[in-house]
């Protein structure tokens, strides 16, 4: 059973999930931040994959993405930095980002890397229907789609039902832009 499933089965309330951008504030700080958060009673960590054009995010996350990319963060480097993280961190880890870097990396290779490292879930703010049709359950990863109705996604009822049926877990978030 996935660590996210276990967390939500054991606790229904007061779950603290913290987001940070990989490669920010320093290129080599990602694993240290994860370990510090895990040691600080955080229940789940969302690791942001930096992207050059994070339109669905507010200015703080946009700036952290910009800095992380200037620092040299990439998916290849992130996976290398996380390669031994499960030796010390037992709480759920999720990757959050945009599909563009994942598509460049290769969808199947991305899922394989996530599975090998022990990533428990994926968050994508704008979601393509064909991606959820891919059978990612074989990699023991939960797909979490975050949809911003005020942005680029408009679904017909049938597509929305397919989306819900295809995803193991579906969170619908509306994040305020501060």
pLDDT tens digits, one per residue of 10-51: 988 888 999 999 999 999 999 999 999 999 989 999 999 999
Mean pLDDT score, 161-167? 41
CB 6 within 8 A of CB 46: no
Q: Does residue 166 surpass a pLDDT of 50?
A: no
- Assigned token pair, 14: 């007061």
10 Cβ neighbours under 8 A, 6+ residues apart: none
- Is residue 10 among the annotated active site residues? no
Instruction: For the sheet with 44-48, list strands across it.
Output: 17-21, 44-48, 93-96, 121-124, 142-145
Question: What pLDDT shows up at residue 110?
Answer: 86
Residue 46 is among the residues annotated as catalytic for this protein:
yes
Q: Which of 46, 53, 116, 120 is catalytic?
A: 46
CATH topology of domain 3-166: TIM Barrel (3.20.20)
The predicted pLDDT at position 177 comes to 29
The mean per-residue pLDDT over the stretch 38-65 comes to 88
- In terms of Cα–Cα distance, which of 151, 82, 170 is closest to 73? 82
Domain boundaries, the chain: 3-166
- Residues 90-97 have a mean pLDDT of 92
- pLDDT for 26 equals 96
Q: Which is the catalytic residue, given 39, 57, 108, 116?
A: 57
**Taking residues 52-67, what's their average pLDDT?**
83
Does residue 164 have a pLDDT over 50? no
């Amino acid at each position: 059973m996935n660590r996210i499933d276990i967390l939500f089965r054991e606790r229904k309330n007061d779950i603290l999930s913290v987001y940070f951008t990989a490669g920010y504030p320093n290129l080599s700080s990602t694993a240290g931040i994860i370990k510090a958060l895990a040691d600080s009673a955080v229940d789940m960590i969302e690791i942001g994959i930096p992207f050059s054009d994070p339109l669905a995010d507010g200015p703080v996350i946009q700036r952290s993405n910009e800095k992380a990319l200037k620092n040299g963060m990439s998916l290849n480097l992130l996976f290398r930095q996380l390669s031994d993280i499960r030796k010390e961190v037992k709480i759920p880890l999720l990757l959050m980002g945009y599909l563009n870097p994942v598509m460049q990396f290769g969808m199947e290779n991305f899922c394989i890397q996530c599975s090998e490292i022990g990533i428990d879930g994926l968050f994508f703010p704008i979601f393509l229907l064909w991606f959820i049709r891919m059978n990612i359950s074989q990699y023991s990863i939960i797909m979490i789609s975050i949809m911003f109705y005020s942005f680029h996604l408009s679904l017909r009822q049938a597509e929305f039902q397919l989306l819900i049926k295809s995803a193991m877990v579906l969170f619908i978030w509306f994040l305020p832009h501060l």
